[in-house]
Structure formats: C-alpha cells, structure tokens
Amino acid sequence: METIPAKQIIAKTKYAAGWFGNDYNMNIYRGCTHGCIYCDSRSDCYQNPDFEAVKVKANALATIRADLRSKKLSGVVGTGAMSDPYNPFEETACLTRSSLDLLRDAGFGVSIATKSPLVTRDIDKLLAIQQQSPVLVQISITCADDALSKLIEPHVAVSSARFDALRQLSQAGIFCGVLMMPILPFINDTIDNVTAIVHKAAAAGAHFIYPAMGMTLRQGNREYFYQQLDAHFPTIQQRYIATFGDSYTCDSPHAAALWAQFSKTCQQYRLLYHMRDIIAASRKAYTQEQQSLF
C-alpha cells in the first residue's frame, strides 16, 4: 500500500450538518478496492486515475491528532465519503480503529459510511464514543439479492453479510441504518428489490434507511460504468444513452412509484428515512443532556 503526503486529514464540511450531521470530513485512505461499477469517486474531477489502488496518508494519526487540537468547536466527523474506511488493508493497519480513540479523547462524534462488515470489529470503540457524542453507522446496501450485489459490487461482502453486520451493530446499541444508494435505473430499480431491502433492514434492527432512487454519471465514471454494463448487462447501455444522454443525474424512470412504496414500507416498520429526522434522532440523547444542564 503506497503512502501519500497529507497536510490535513480532518476538514470542515462545506455544508454544516447537512449529510448525516457531519461537521467535518475525514479520509485516511485514498482509492478503493470494492470495484463497484457505479462509483462516482472514479470521476475525473477527483483527479485519482489509479482509483482502485488504495493509498494511505502519511503520518495519518499524528495529523488527525493535530487537526483535532486545532478545531475550536467539536462536532461529528464523517468518514467514508471518498473511500471506504474499512478497506481490506484496514484489517491489519487499524488506522480507522486508532482514529476512533483520537475522536473519543477529543470529544468528537463520528459518522461512518461503509460496505464492510469489518466495522463490527470496532463496536467497542464506537460504544466508547457514543457515551459522550453522537455515533452513526451507515451500511451501504443496494441489492437485497446476493447474486446481483456481487455483479455490481464485485469485491466487497455480499448484501447478506452486510445485513448481518447491521444486526450486530444494532444489538450492541449503535445507532445504525442503511444507505440504499444508488438504485440503478434498469438494474435494481424494482419495487421488489426496494421493499426487500426495507424488510431485511428492519429485521436486522436498523434505525433508518436513506435512499437515492437513481445515480450520477460524469466523465471518468461514465466510461467505466458503460464498460461494465456491456460485460454484465448487455443492451442496457443503449437504454442509458437514450434516456439520459450526457446528464449528470440519472433518476430511475420509476422513482415516484419506488419512493411511494419505500416510504409506506418504512412507515410500517417505523424506520426513519428523512435526513433531518435521522440527524435529530442520532443527537436526541445529547441534546436532552445539554438542556438538562441548564
């Protein structure tokens, strides 16, 4: 695994508390080995042509420690936006695990997005943070069916393993749920798939599901995605071109019907699915505690 320089690892978000309440972003690693055919992080705008080679930022823990000390205000640190913090190298490198200690010691919360069941290894660290600050774990699941998930996310644990990880997190008392995105037009944008994910998430003890009934495509990502469509889903590329052209946003033609059934099913299981409600629920205990002090 190559080491790359980094002057800063924890940076203030552009839109405070917009995405799962993240006040800061943290990416210890660059690149990803999951091989998901739709990944926006392959886009040329991110200037990472060797995307599938995972690189680690030099002196990561010392840099994180210094970054935290420089912040005037504590908050929730999000990780997993550009690369999975639980890639295969993390199993032995333990940099994400060690960073959780630093966040706890500095009084920061954490919001993790991952496809890897390896996150369950760090339940002890997450519980330690959760005693004083918000913790949110989002497990990305796009397909209820393992065979389909293996086609579009070939080098990561199948969906059933991710649902099991969700169950372990929930049983431990971690505030967790599902990132149901992207829902790919003409591939997994069916009511059966969406409702099955909701059913399985509820059975695993999820607190929330946050969806995107479509995907994004831009230069760099589009070319790779179309190659994979030709390899695994012949004829679908032409449907994308005919339907979306060069559009950045590719919403499912069935988005309205999917959303209607999705929201109805979430309500039946009392699962949160609006961002503002998810953020509020994740911070409810800490808000009440602060109010009680005054």
- Digit-coded pLDDT (tens) for 137-180: 999 999 999 999 999 999 999 999 999 999 999 999 999 999 99
> Residue 289 has what pLDDT?
52
Which residues, 6 or more positions from 185, have their beta carbon under 8 angstroms from its beta carbon?
214, 215, 239, 240, 243, 244, 250, 251, 252, 253
pLDDT of residue 49: 83
Question: What rounded mean pLDDT belongs to the chain?
Answer: 94
Reported confidence tier of residue 90, pLDDT bands at 50, 70, 90: very high
Contacts of range 123-127, beta carbons closer than 8 Å, 24 or more positions apart: 123/168, 123/169, 123/172, 123/174, 125/97, 125/100, 125/101, 126/100, 126/169, 126/172, 126/174, 127/172, 127/173, 127/174
- Is the model more confident about 219 or about 285? 219
Which residue would you say has higher pLDDT here, 50 or 179? 179
What's the whole-number mean pLDDT along residues 117-122?
A: 98
Question: What's this model's pTM, rounded to 2 decimal places?
Answer: 0.94
For residue range 230-271, list pLDDT tens digits in order: 999 999 999 999 999 999 999 999 999 999 999 999 999 999
Which residues on adjacent β-strands are paired with residue 177?
Answer: 138, 208
* 8 A C-beta contact, residue 205 and residue 272: no
Sign of CA dihedral 79, 81, 86, 92: negative
